[in-house]
Amino acid sequence: MNIYDFTGLTRSIHEGLSSSMSPLAVTVTEFVIIAFAFMIFFTILGLVLVYAERKICAFFQLRLGPMRVGKWGLAQTAADAVKLIFKEPMITKNADKFLFNLAPFIVIISTFMALGALPFAKGLHALDFDIGILYISAVSSIGVIGILIAGWSSDNKYSLIGAMRSGAQVVSYELSVGLSLLTIVVLAESLQFSEIIASQEAGWWIFRGHIPALIAFCVFMIAGTAETNRGPFDLAEAESELTAGFHTEYSGLKFAFFFLAEFVNMFIIAAIGATVFLGGWMPFHIGHWAGFNQIMDFIPPIVWFFGKTGFLIFLMMWFKWTFPRLRIDQLLTLEWKYLLPINLINILIMAFVVLMGWHF
Amino acid sequence: MRAIIDYIKSIIEGIRTLLKGMSVTGYYITHPREIITQQYPENRETLEMFDRFRGEVVLTHTEANEHRCTGCSACELACPNGTIEIISKREEVDGKKKKVIDKFMYNLSMCTFCNLCILSCPTDAIVMSKDFEHAVFDRSLLTKVLNKPGSKLMEGVR
Amino acid sequence: MGEAVKTVTNTPFEEQEYFINMGPQHPSTHGVLRLVLTLEGETIRKVEPHLGYIHRSIEKMCEKDGYKQIVHLTDRMDYLSAHINNEAVCLAVEQGMEVEIPERVKVIRTIIAELTRLASHQLWWGVMGMDLGAITTFLYGFRDREMINDIFEETCGARLTMNYNVPGGLMFDIHPNFVQRTKDFIAHFKKKLPEYDELLSGNIIFRKRTEGVGVLSKEDAISFGVTGPAGRASGFSCDLRKHAPYSAYDKVQFKEVLGTEGDSYARYKVRIQEMWESMAVIEQLIDNIPEGDFQAKTKAVIKLPKGEFYQKVETARGELGVYIISEGDKSPYRMKFRSPGFSNLSALDHMARGAKIADVVTIMSTLDLVIPDIDR
Q: Could A330 and C133 be called an inter-chain contact, meaning their C-beta atoms sit closer than 8 Å?
A: no
- List beta partners, residue C205: none
Average pLDDT on C123-149 reads: 87
> Does B3 contact A at CB distance below 8 Å?
no
Distance CA B85, CA B101 (A): 11
Stretch (H or E) spanning A268 = helix A252-278
Q: How far is CA C178 from CA B48, C108, C153, in A?
A: 17, 10, 10
So what's the pLDDT on residue B137?
92
> Which percentage of chain C shows pLDDT scores above 70?
96
Residues 6+ apart with CB under 8 A from C86: C71, C72, C74, C75, C162, C163, C164, C165
pLDDT at A71 over 70: yes
Which chain C residue shows the shortest CA-CA distance from A158? C20
Beta-carbon count within 10 A of B32 CB: 10
> Kind and range of the H or E element at A178?
helix A157-188
Classify domain C58-375 by CATH number. 1.10.645.10
CA A134 to chain C, closest CA, distance in angstroms equals 32
Q: How long is chain A?
A: 360
CA A239 to CA B105: how far, in whole Å? 46
Do C213 and C355 contact (CB within 8 A), yes or no?
Answer: yes
List of residues 6+ apart from C180 with CB closer than 8 A: none
> CATH assignment of B56-153, given 3.30.70.3270, 3.40.50.880, 3.40.50.1580, 1.10.510.10?
3.30.70.3270
From first CA to last CA, the distance across chain C in angstroms is 23
Establish if A308 belongs to a structural domain: yes
Residue-range definition of the domain harbouring residue A309: 89-356
In this structure, the strands spanning B66-67 and B152-153 are parallel
Distance spanning both ends of chain B, measured CA to CA:
93
Q: Which among C136, C143, C203 has the least Cβ separation from residue A60?
A: C136
Interface contact B26-A318, CB threshold 8 A: yes
Locate the chain C residue with the closest alpha carbon to A325: C133
Q: For chain C, say whether A240 makes contact (Cβ under 8 Å).
A: yes
User: How much of chain A, in percent, has pLDDT values that exceed 70?
Assistant: 96
Whether the CB-CB separation of A103 and A149 falls below 8 Å is answered with yes
User: Could you tell me if B50 lies within 8 Å of chain C, comparing CB atoms?
Assistant: yes
Contacts with C143 from chain B: Cβ below 8 Å? 36
- Contact: A324, C206; criterion CB under 8 Å: yes
Interface predicted TM-score (ipTM): 0.82
Residue in chain A closest to B17 (alpha carbons) equals A323
Percent of chain A, pLDDT > 90? 0
Contact C200 B21 (CB under 8 A): yes
A47 has pLDDT over 60: yes
What pLDDT does C11 receive? 62
- pLDDT per position as a tens digit, B23-77: 888 888 888 888 888 888 888 888 888 888 888 888 888 888 888 888 788 888 8
C209 and A238: CB-CB below 8 Å? no
Asked if C133 and A242 come within 8 Å (Cβ–Cβ), the reply is no
Q: Is B117 on the interface with C (CB under 8 A)?
A: no
Backbone angles phi, psi at C28, to 5 degrees: -105, 5
Residues C16-29 have a mean pLDDT of 80
Angle between helices A97-116 and A23-60 in degrees, nearest 10: 100
What letter would DSSP give residue C75? T
Q: Given an 8 Å threshold on Cβ–Cβ distance, is B18 in contact with C205?
A: yes
Q: For residue C287, what pLDDT is reported?
A: 86
A contact set with B (CB within 8 A): 56, 59-64, 67, 318-319, 321-323, 338, 342
Q: Which of A67, A318, A342 sits opposite B22 (nearest CB)?
A: A318
- Angstrom distance (rounded) from CA A167 to CA A175: 13
Q: C316 pLDDT exceeds 50?
A: yes
In a domain, A46, yes or no: no
Per residue in B93-140, pLDDT tens?
A: 676 777 778 888 888 888 888 888 888 888 888 888 888 888 889 888
Q: Tell the burial category of C6 from Cβ atoms under 10 Å away from its Cβ (0-12, 13-18, 19+).
A: exposed
Confidence of residue C2 (pLDDT cuts 50, 70, 90): very low
- B59 membership: H or E segment, kind and range: strand B56-59
pLDDT-based confidence at residue A287 (cuts at 50, 70, 90): low
Q: Closest approach of chain C CAs to the CA of A277, in angstroms?
A: 27
Residue B27 host element (H or E):
helix B2-30
Cβ–Cβ below 8 Å for A324 and C359: no
DSSP state of A231: G
Neighbouring chains to A with at least 3 Cβ pairs closer than 8 Å: B, C
Q: Which of C354, C52, C16, C135 is nearest to A157 (CA)?
A: C16
Between A319 and A291, residue with greater pLDDT? A319
Please compute the mean of the pLDDT values over residues A297-326 and round it to a whole number: 85
pLDDT, mean of residues C79-108: 87
Give how far C16 is from chain B: nearest CA, Å: 41
Chain C residue whose CA is closest to B21:
C199
Q: Is the pLDDT of residue A1 over 60?
A: no
Element (H, E) at C35: strand C34-40
Flag whether pLDDT at C8 surpasses 60. no
Per-residue pLDDT, averaged over C97-124, amounts to: 88
What pLDDT, in 10s, does the model give residues A228-258?
A: 888 788 877 777 777 777 888 888 888 888 8
- From the candidates B4, B29, B34, which should be mutated to test the interface with A, based on the most A CB atoms within 10 A? B29
Q: How far is A273 from chain C (nearest CA, A)?
A: 24
Q: Does C1 have pLDDT greater than 50?
A: no
The model's pLDDT over A127-178, given as tens digits with 9 standing for 90+, comes to 777 888 888 888 888 888 888 888 888 888 888 888 888 888 888 888 888 8
Q: Do B18 and C204 touch (CB under 8 A)?
A: yes
Strand B126-129 versus strand A124-125 pairing type: unpaired
C40 touches chain A (CB under 8 A): no
The answer to whether residue A205 scores a pLDDT higher than 80 is no
Question: Does residue A55 carry a pLDDT above 70?
Answer: yes
Task: Determine the distance in angstroms separating the CA of C124 from the nearest CA of chain A, rounded to an integer.
Answer: 15
Mean per-residue pLDDT, C293-301: 81
**Is C356's CB within 8 Å of A238's CB?**
no
- Mean pLDDT confidence for C325-336: 87
User: Nearest Cβ partner of C203 from B17, B49, B50?
Assistant: B17
Q: Is B99:B33 a contact under the CB 8 Å cutoff?
A: no
The mean predicted confidence, pLDDT, of chain A is 82
Residue C54 reports pLDDT greater than 80: yes
**Mean of the pLDDT values across residues A262-276?**
87
Report the C-alpha gap between B56 and B115 in whole angstroms. 9
Q: Locate the chain C residue with the closest alpha carbon to A58.
A: C136
Long-range contacts of A304-308 (CB under 8 A, 24+ apart): A304/A279, A304/A280, A305/A119, A305/A120, A305/A121, A305/A271, A305/A274, A305/A275, A305/A280, A305/A281, A308/A274, A308/A278, A308/A279, A308/A280
Question: How many structural domains compose chain A?
Answer: 1
Question: What residues of B are in contact with residue C65 (Cβ under 8 Å)?
Answer: 80
Residues in chain A closer than 8 A to C18 (CB atoms): 157
For chain C, domain boundaries: 2-50, 58-375
